[in-house]
Structures are given as C-alpha cells and as structure tokens.
Amino acid sequence: MVGRLIRYLTLALLAAALFAARPAAAITMLGDTVTINYLFPTKTSPYTGFYGLPATVKVSNGNSDLVTAKSSASRNATQYFTVSVQKSSIVVTFLQNLVFTPATFNGLSIKGITQTITSATQVGQVPGVVSLASNTVMFNFAGQTFRAGSTITANLLFSLAPLPAPIPLPAGLPLLGSGLGLLIWAGRRRRTAG
C-alpha cells in the first residue's frame, strides 16, 4: 500500500516537473501587421512607380501575405517581383530580368515587426542587399541585376523574450517530501522488524 502510494506520488511529481520544463514557444512574426514600402532614390523617399506598393499585410501561414509589385492595376500589367513575409523570413522573388538604377537607395523597407530583430542573414545571388535599420528590414537593389526566377531571402533571428520569474516552491512541498521520507523509513523499519 505504502509502496503504491510512493510510486504514484513519484510519478505525479515527475509529471509536474516535465510540464514545468516545457520549451518556450518560438518567436516569429506571425500575427504582425507589416508595411512594405518601395524607396528611391534615398531611404526616406517613397517611390510610387509600382502598383501594389506600399502594402500592409498581416503575417500568417500561407500566401495571404504575398505582395506583387507591378506596372499598373490592369490584369495584363507587367509583374516585376513578389514579396512574401513569412514567420521568420522575407522572400523577394523576381518575376522577370531586372536592372535597378544606381542610387543611394533603390529597394524595399519592411516595417511594423513587433519582435526585436537581432540579426538578418541573406540568402541569394547578390551579396549585401539585406540590412537592418532599427526593427526595419531593408533590401537595397541599387545598381544590381536580377534574373527572372531568382530570389533574395532575409532569414531573421529574434531576441528571446525575458524569462519569466521562477515559480516559487509551494510551501507544502517540503512538508510532503518529509512525510514521504518518514513513510518510507517507517515501512522499511517495519519490514526489518517483522
């Protein structure tokens, strides 16, 4: 009887410890509402030559956050590139061969990310396109040439949220442990005496 009680209590304590040690949820941009702007010829000059930009999207799983920059609102408009804001990356896909004019800045800014970005790693054919300015991701295409189908990806890392304060040990837990220890000691003593 005492042995079963001890086993059940041990399993309960082990289950509680495993539940308390579960990993934290991953930090992503899911749910953020971000604004995608095209800037030219400087980082502070909005460019309105692309239909579809600026655009505001809510980051979600799937393609609901896909923005296409094109020449006009017509169905047959020339499509230049798409921007997909995913949970921890931003992907620009070029839909045709493009040559960007040299300038101080000729590209995209993505603002409204609520998490603190610690780094952005670029994947793509042309190095040095992606940069961070505060919590804004910048893609500077100035003077670059891109082939149709090529992509530039900014993989983002976010700072971890501060860890919550440790949960204090309930006052009754040491008392419970002492009681279990006494029960074990009494059970062993009874077996050796009997």
Domain ranges for the chain, please list them.
Answer: 33-158
Tell which wins on pLDDT, 194 or 59: 59
Beta strands in the chain (DSSP E): 33-39, 55-58, 66-70, 79-85, 89-94, 98-99, 107-111, 117-124, 130-133, 136-140, 145-146, 151-158
Q: How confident is the model at residue 168 (pLDDT cuts 50, 70, 90)?
A: low
Whether 64 shows a pLDDT value over 70: the answer reads: no
CA dist 111 and 137 (Å) reads 7
> What pLDDT score was predicted for residue 139?
96
Q: What is the mean pLDDT of residues 86-115?
A: 94
Q: What percent of the chain has pLDDT over 70?
A: 78
- pTM for this prediction: 0.70
> What pLDDT score was predicted for residue 21?
47
> What pLDDT score was predicted for residue 16?
53
How many Cβ atoms from other residues are within 10 Å of residue 43's Cβ?
Answer: 16
